[in-house]
């Protein structure tokens, strides 16, 4: 019999931090609603969920790193929406958040889940924020619970 570790998708007893960007709030509030709903449907109480609002996606990892380092959370969910404009700003915001989340994960203390939409158009973001293509916040919550359970078994 091979050894096998599989994560359960249940909130368990751990706490979940959600860092959410106010920039493009009309989208990120939908991601946040999806994430909270998903955590609650899988057993999380209000006390198990800590929200932190930050100005924009570039600032997500500033807060996420502190939360991850605190050791208080089973996972940190990072929610944002980056939508391409007329300049290259989009690319820098995407780079910054991608690197920051990867860095937290390399450090290995607490998993940080990438729930950041990176879209060419507003329509693409709307589709991924609770309409045609599901809700990326809810997907991030599922991932957070599963990876937290996996990490807990390692």
Chain positions contacting ligand INI, by CB under 6 A: 21, 23-24, 55-59, 80-83, 85, 89-90, 93
CB nearer to ligand INI: pick between 57 and 138:
57
- Tell me the CB-side half-sphere exposure of residue 152, using CA atoms within 13 A: 19
Q: Are 61 and 134 in contact (CB under 8 A)?
A: no
Minimum distance, C-beta of residue 30 to ligand INI, in the bound complex (Å): 14
DSSP state of 15: -
DSSP state of 121: S
Calculate ∠ Cα 7-132-126, nearest 5°. 100
CB nearer to ligand INI: pick between 85 and 108:
85
Quote the distance between the C-alpha of residue 93 and its chain's center.
16
- Active-site residue flag, 89: yes
Minimum distance, C-beta of residue 26 to ligand INI, in the bound complex (Å): 12
CB nearer to ligand INI: pick between 21 and 138:
21
3-state secondary structure of 96: helix
Minimum distance, C-beta of residue 47 to ligand INI, in the bound complex (Å): 28
Q: Are 104 and 144 in contact (CB under 8 A)?
A: no
Contacts of 45 by beta carbon, 8 Å cutoff, 6+ apart? none
Q: Kindly name the residue from 13, 66, 72, 89 that is annotated as catalytic.
A: 89
Minimum distance, C-beta of residue 142 to ligand INI, in the bound complex (Å): 22
CB nearer to ligand INI: pick between 14 and 24:
24
Query: Which residues are marked as active site?
Result: 89
């Amino acid at each position: 019999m091979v050894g096998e570790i599989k994560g359960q998708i249940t909130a368990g007893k751990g706490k979940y931090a959600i860092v959410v960007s106010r920039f493009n709030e009309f989208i990120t509030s939908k991601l946040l609603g999806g994430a909270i709903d998903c955590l609650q449907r899988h057993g999380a109480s209000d006390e198990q969920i800590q929200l932190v609002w930050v100005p924009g996606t570039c600032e997500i990892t500033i807060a996420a790193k502190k939360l991850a380092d605190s050791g208080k959370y089973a996972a940190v969910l990072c929610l944002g929406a980056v939508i391409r404009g007329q300049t290259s700003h989009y690319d820098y915001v995407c780079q910054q958040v991608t690197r920051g989340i990867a860095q937290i994960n390399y450090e290995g203390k607490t998993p940080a889940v990438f729930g950041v939409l990176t879209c060419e158009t507003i329509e693409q973001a709307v589709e991924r924020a609770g309409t045609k293509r599901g809700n990326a916040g809810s997907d991030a919550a599922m991932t957070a619970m599963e990876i937290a359970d996996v990490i807990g078994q390692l």
